[in-house]
Amino acid sequence: MPTFVYMTNCDGCGYCVDICPSDIMHIDTTYRRAFNVEPNMCWECYSCVKACPQQAIDCRGYADFAPLGHSVRVLREEEKATVSWRIKFRDGREKNFVSPIRTTPWGSIKGPSDYAQPTSAAMRSQELAHEPETLKVEALPTLARSRFKKGLV
């Protein structure tokens, strides 16, 4: 379910705005606090929840791990490189679990602007950025035309 922001915790830093792949976290121009402008378009990726340094963003969890009325809080601890989730059920029970969020040191992953511009040939290629080397293969597998189903050639 979509996210929402506790206005009193938010300091308007904008990290959630930058990271939201759906571009629906915006800063209210009057209050200078973030809010989800289009909850129906939320991917529920929780990137904003994990990125918020103020723990200001909350969400309802998926029914499979929090089925009956609950709140979901997240604790982001950069120094430990962990994200901890706390689910609080209506009857007062709590479930706490930690998710490892990366296998490389914090801050060690290069951003897109740290790489050279793709060549025009690369722009026409069907391979995605950094393929095939990041897949640790010499070339992507291809399907021989002889294996196509009749009528699809």
- Catalytic residue ranges: 43
Tell me how far, at minimum, the Cβ of 81 lies from ligand SF4, in Å.
18
Q: At its nearest, how many Å lie between ligand SF4 and the CB of residue 42?
A: 3
The residue (of 76 and 88) whose beta carbon lies closer to ligand SF4 is 76
Q: Do 83 and 75 contact (CB within 8 A), yes or no?
A: yes
CB of 112 to ligand SF4, least distance (A): 18
Q: Which amino acid is at 140?
A: L
Beta bridge partners of 120: none
- 80 contacts 102 by C-beta, under 8 angstroms: no
Binding mask 3-42 for ligand SF4 (x = CB under 6 A): x-x----xxxxxxx--xxxx-xx--------x-x-----x
Our CA angle for 89, 92, 95, nearest 5°, is 55
Among 52, 15, 8, 56, which residue's Cα sits nearest to residue 31? Answer: 8
Nearer to ligand SF4, 28 or 131 (CB): 28
Please calculate the CA angle 122-127-128 and round it to the nearest 5 degrees: 90
The span from the CA of 62 to the CA of 152, in Å, is: 40
- Which amino acid makes up residue 118? P
# chain residues binding ligand SF4, by CB under 6 A = 30
Structure tokens at 152: 């699809």
Build a one-symbol-per-residue string for 42-61: x at contacts with ligand SF4 by CB under 6 A, - elsewhere. Answer: xxxxxxx--xx-x-xx----
Query: CB 61 → ligand SF4: shortest distance, Å?
Result: 12
Q: Which residues inside 57-96 make contact with ligand SF4, applying CB under 6 A?
A: 57
What is the binding site for ligand SF4 (CB under 6 A)?
2-3, 5, 10-16, 19-22, 24-25, 34, 36, 42-48, 51-52, 54, 56-57
